[in-house]
Amino acid sequence: MDGHGDGGGQHDSQRYSRRRGCHETNLQCLRLDTFALQQLISFFFVSAPSAKAAQSFVAMPGLTIGDTVPNLELDSTHGKIRIHDFVGDTYVILFSHPGDFTPVCTTELAAMAGYAKEFDKRGVKLLGISCDDVQSHKDWIKDIEAYKPGNRVTYPIMADPSREAIKQLNMVDPDEKDSNGGHLPSRALHIVGPDKKVKLSFLYPACVGRNMDEVVRAVDALQTAAKHAVATRVNWKPGERVVIPPGVSDDEAKEKFPQGFDTADLPSGKGYLRFTKVG
């Protein structure tokens, strides 16, 4: 049909094969280019670290909810700490700070020390990290405790002078740098569960201090949700009603929550908003 004269079909077949070969080659090149671009982005994002650190970072780009926290071993104010061993079978609040002897960080660590008993009641351990060395941390603690007398810093603060750990923990602030141009930690906070997975994360810029009451509330909500297989509504606080997940049928809810539940009367007529109380 498109051929001209004898053997046209054969020529068409050869042209088709050549075009197909070109398309396949182009597709392979596109895949290679995409892969190369991803590698370049990963490389430059971590400020060109060592090959070993880059491989580790690429393997876990952007630690987030549901990811297993890397089992790093770092020096700390309490000696060597391996993160998974520290977590054990408890919850851990792992939080980072842009630097020692900085104003907002000092107020935060003092507040965290003041809330330590509240976290301990909930079976939650505290673990800080900052990119200065251990001796700097120990000297800084004196300032923190002097700022809030009575708030003793009993939790460990890990050291990360190479700044490789904060990259693997997804705690890098892209905008904040030191005098040498090196990236600083953000005000990141991961709540890690007994399964070593990140359950919840907060991420603040260096200019905004964290709200410790919200961290406590988040811990309560996570533990309540895990214990009773429920969800917590907006601004929920312990003792208030919780939400029954949509995947639980009414019949299942009656069996699971013998104390009963209320269903909101909505214009859609869909009974998806159900509230109950749990102990």
Q: Distance of alpha carbon 271 from its chain centroid, rounded?
A: 33
Residues 120 and 179 in one domain: yes
Torsion over CA of 88, 89, 93 and 95, rounded to 10 degrees?
A: 20
Domain end call among 177, 209, 241? 209
Residues 130 and 253 in one domain: no
- Tell me, yes or no, whether 24 lies in a domain: no
Residue 171's pLDDT is what?
A: 86
- Tell me, yes or no, whether 77 lies in a domain: yes
Residue 48 burial class via C-beta count within 10 angstroms: exposed 0-12, middle 13-18, buried 19 and up = exposed
Beta carbons of 236 and 203 less than 8 angstroms apart: no
Domain end call among 150, 176, 209? 209
- Tell me, yes or no, whether 10 lies in a domain: no
Residues 161 and 190 in one domain: yes
In which domain, by residue range, is 269 found? 229-276
Query: Residue 35 and residue 278: Cα distance in Å, rounded?
Result: 49
Of the two residues 18 and 274, the one the predictor is more confident about is 274
Residues 270 and 183 in one domain: no
Residue 19's pLDDT is what?
A: 45
Residues 187 and 234 in one domain: no
How many domains does the structure of the chain reveal?
Answer: 2
Residues 239 and 168 in one domain: no
CATH classification of the domain holding 99: 3.40.30.10
Residues 198 and 253 in one domain: no
Q: State pLDDT tens for residues 46-73.
A: 444 444 443 433 333 478 999 999 999 9
Active site residues: 105
Residues 240 and 160 in one domain: no
Query: Residue 272 and residue 263: Cα distance in Å, rounded?
Result: 7
Query: Residue 94 and residue 73: Cα distance in Å, rounded?
Result: 14
Residues 260 and 146 in one domain: no
- Tell me, yes or no, whether 240 lies in a domain: yes
Q: State pLDDT tens for residues 8-32.
A: 444 444 444 444 444 444 444 434 3
- Tell me, yes or no, whether 41 lies in a domain: no
Residue 54's pLDDT is what?
A: 39
Token pair listed for 57: 């970072």
Query: Residue 209 and residue 189: Cα distance in Å, rounded?
Result: 12
- Tell me, yes or no, whether 204 lies in a domain: yes
